[in-house]
Amino acid sequence: MGYTPSMITGFRHKGLSLLYEKGDRRRVPPEYADKLERIQSVA
């Protein structure tokens, strides 16, 4: 039984895509931006 690391292949939400690819927080709600960046840094 092997382990396959998960990877992000795409986003449906344009704001999440911009946050992940460019660090641009403009299109995500400010109250979620820090949490989303932490989640994406682990993935």
pTM for the full model?
0.70
> What is the model's pLDDT at position 3?
63
> What is the model's pLDDT at position 8?
74
Query: Taking 90 as the threshold, does the pLDDT of residue 23 lie above it?
Result: yes
Q: Would you report the helix, strand and coil content of the chain in percent, each value rounded to 5?
A: 50, 0, 50
